[in-house]
Structure 1
Amino acid sequence: MSFIDHLEELRWHLIRSLIAVMALSIAAFVSVDFVFNTVIFGPAKPDFWTFRMLCNVGELINSTAICIDDIPLKIQSRKMTGQFTMHITSSFVIGIIVAFPYIFWEFWRFISPGLHLNEKKVSRGAVFFVTLLFSIGVMFGYYIMSPLAVNFLSNYQVSDIVMNEFDITSYVSTLITLVLGSGFLFQLPIVVYFLSKIGIVTPELMRSYRKHAIVVILVLGAMLTPPDPLSQILIAFPLFGLYEMSILISRRVNKKRLKDLAKSQIEKRP
């Protein structure tokens, strides 16, 4: 295929992905009551799943300290177009999240024909694992980070004379940042897997730069989460775990790569 033909092929993959996002966004836009009262404002309600689980744990350990039964959250719309803009924005983001498996599948359909046979073998299951990690990250951001961050920020006060009354734009933007940021950050094992396959990353390299990785993780957590220490700590812990998991993945991949390389060199000998 010529360069123009590749561009044409890419254009149709992008068009199909955009159609999927727009269709799901329209469905979310129409379901405004469910989207806002159940999904978006869910983490701000005391009966949210996370808070109920905390109360259940508190009952088991005979402690009511971790049971959250009131969240003093007040949300306002200070701009004429505030609610309408957030309605469109949230619908579009929901469309992207739900359509993400299809979007990545279209992207993979575009690049997979250009891979060699051995590259196709090592990348088998890429769509499944990318989707799985993205889904886990989104659920972690929604069910763990979002409710705890909302509770922390709504109760935090520097003075009694300052009232916490948040704009709807700020609330929805914070929720989107937490959920999408977690979804993309959870792709770390996939990135390490492919970098290890081509020999750029090794387990020894990752171990030697572990301290540097901790700093990078904290910086990424600060960039992709609201500017509060709780959110940064909450995203940092699973990323540390993913980094250690990535070391194990890199060790296994690198071991197999070196074994295949040695085997190919033996076969080339006369």
Structure 2
Amino acid sequence: MSDPQQTQDEGTEETFISHLVELRDRIIRAGISVIVVFLGLVYWAPDIFRLLARPLMQNLPRDGKMIVTDVTGSFFVPMKVTMLVAFVIALPFVLYQIWAFVAPGLYQHEKKLVAPLVGSSYTLFLCGMAFAYFVVFPTIFRVMAHYNAPLGAEMTTDIDNYLSFVLTMFIAFGVTFEVPIIVVLLVRMGVLTVKKLKEIRPYVIVGAFIVAAVVTPPDVFSQLILAVPLIVLYEAGIIAARLFVGTGEKSATDESEAASES
């Protein structure tokens, strides 16, 4: 006669292993999707890098060029850029794989939030990258070229250093544009209320300028380019929280009631 406790332990172990297998399959599918997109773009890798470098090249002095200080840099840097572009393009499918893995463990009201949350987060992140590319990069490079001219210094940069800089900016502005989503989630989960968000506004403004000073080049104009959108997006998050969630004072109670009903 089998031991009920042993049978239960075996069932738990099988469930855990099945989850690991599913997680592995989801990761493989996500990885394959990125690789497939990368292979479709790899032929145009030099063109993709030139497109990424355009904001700098347009603001270099006449006959200005980018340089390569690493023997393999001219090959691997365009490959890295193309891989990152492939990841961004394949990101919706990657997020779907994550969603398909965690969905069985979510309540029904939580499932309804995932699609708009993921879609809006992806869209806002792309908007942040676009803002960095079309507004921030030309402005920063124009300002830096203006600073270099009186010094008689030639403005050139290594392509690897340039890639590191633009990635930092893309991530910084992509995350910055997620602020409305973060604010709405904080109110939705009952962590903060709209009233509290308004009360801490002065600290957010100071924090925005501190973050901008750390991330952007050391000039006031570049810092304003990041700090001002961060503050504006924070205010947009407060407005969105008031519209879609309410004041937030009852959000925690509503959440628990929805969970019990499901």
Question: How far did 1:159 drift?
Answer: 5.6
1:93 alignment partner in structure 2: 84
Structure 2 vs 1, CA of residues 197 and 165 (structure 1 numbering), >3 Å: closer, same or farther?
same
Task: Classify 1:5/1:77 alpha carbon distance in 2 versus 1 (closer, same or farther; 3 Å).
Answer: same
One-letter code of the match for 2:111?
K
CA RMSD after TM alignment: 3.0
- Percentage of identical aligned residues: 28
In structure 1, how many angstroms separate the alpha carbons of the residues matched to 2:222 and 2:237? 23
The equivalent residue for 2:47 is 34
1:147 maps onto 2:138 in alignment: yes
Q: Assess, with a 3 A threshold, how the Cα gap between structure 1 residues 251 and 169 changes in structure 2: closer, same or farther.
A: same
Structure showing greater radius of gyration is 2
When normalised by structure 2's length, the TM-score is: 0.79
For residue 27 of structure 2, the aligned residue among 2, 10, 14 is 14
The structure-2 alpha-carbon separation of the partners of 1:212 and 1:259, relative to structure 1 and needing over 3 Å to count, comes to: closer
With normalisation by structure 1, the TM-score equals: 0.77
| Unmatched runs of 5 consecutive residues or more in structure 1 | 47-67, 266-270
Q: In the alignment, is the contact (CA less than 8 A) between 1:26 and 1:91 conserved in 2? A: no
| DSSP-derived class of the 1:75 partner | coil
Separation (CA, whole Å) in 2 of partners of 1:179 and 1:110: 28
How many Å separate the matches in 2 of 1:167 and 1:107? 37
Structure 1 CA distance for aligned equivalents of residues 80 and 190 of structure 2: 40
* Corresponding residue of 2:121: 130
The corresponding residue for 1:55 is none
One-letter code aligned to 1:242: L
- Name the counterpart of 1:104: 95
Q: Could you tell me whether the CA contact under 8 Å between 2:129 and 2:174 is conserved in 1?
A: yes
Query: Which has the larger helix fraction?
Result: 2
**Displacement of 1:219 after TM fit?**
3.1
1:162 is aligned to 2:166: no
Structure 2 residues not aligned, in runs of 5+? 1-13, 258-262
1:258, 1:161 → 2: CA distance? Answer: 62
Tell me, in whole angstroms, the C-alpha distance in 1 between the residues paired with 2:61 and 2:75. 28
Partner of 1:251: 242
Q: Would the alpha carbon gap of residues 150 and 259 (structure 1) be closer, same or farther in structure 2, given more than 3 Å must change?
A: closer
3-state DSSP of counterpart to 2:148: coil
